[in-house]
Amino acid sequence: MSHPIMFDDADPVLRRVREIALAFPDAAEKVSHGRPAFYTTKVFAYYGGSVKVDGVYRQHQ
């Protein structure tokens, strides 16, 4: 089962995070569990997050 996309490519904060993360040598981006993940040989950052409240995950705003 694939995860739904949980980000907006037009998000200006995501644009800035991409700029910083992809400036690292050999860094790349992939979508993992519906969120952007930045990695080299291992993932070093995910964009976005959620918290479990009463058994339901809610995205940070």
Q: Residue 61: how many CB atoms within 10 A of its CB? A: 3
Domain locations in the chain as residue ranges: 12-59
8 Å CB contact between 15 and 4: no
Q: Is the pLDDT of residue 61 over 70?
A: no
Tokens for 15?
Answer: 């644009």
pTM: 0.79
Question: pLDDT tens digits for 13-57?
Answer: 899 999 999 999 999 999 998 999 999 999 999 998 677 788 887
pLDDT at 47: 93
Strand partners, 46: 37
DSSP state letter for 2: P
DSSP state letter for 38: E
CA 41 to CA 46: how far, in whole Å?
14
